[in-house]
Amino acid sequence: MATHKSAIKRNRQSIIRTARNVHVRSSMRTLVKNVRVAVAAKDKEAAVAALEKAIPYIDKTASKGVIHKATASRKIGRLTKLVNTLD
């Protein structure tokens, strides 16, 4: 366990940030899943609507440092490609 004052504060910050990151990552995964479910149901309108919600959230997740910017770009590209197969 941390004994220095600065180490105690670091530990406290780490716990708070980890909880925030878990929440943000979980929300992002839910939005991605919503897109995939809509595509699996062959519902183009719902898929496009879900994608429009997911893209800004994925970008925001990357800007917060929860995921890498290349990972965000890859996720957005793959989801967009998936939705575009529904023609």
Tokens representing 57 are 């959230």
- What does the pLDDT look like over 49-73, one tens digit per residue? 999 999 999 999 999 999 999 999 9
DSSP 8-state secondary structure symbol assigned to residue 64: T
Q: Into how many domains does the chain fold?
A: 1
Domain containing 42 — which CATH number? 1.20.58.110
Domain of residue 58 covers 5-84
Residue segments in the chain with a per-residue pLDDT below the cut of 70:
none
8 Å CB contact between 47 and 35 = yes
8 Å CB contact between 32 and 65 = no
- pTM, full prediction: 0.87
Tokens representing 59 are 């970008």
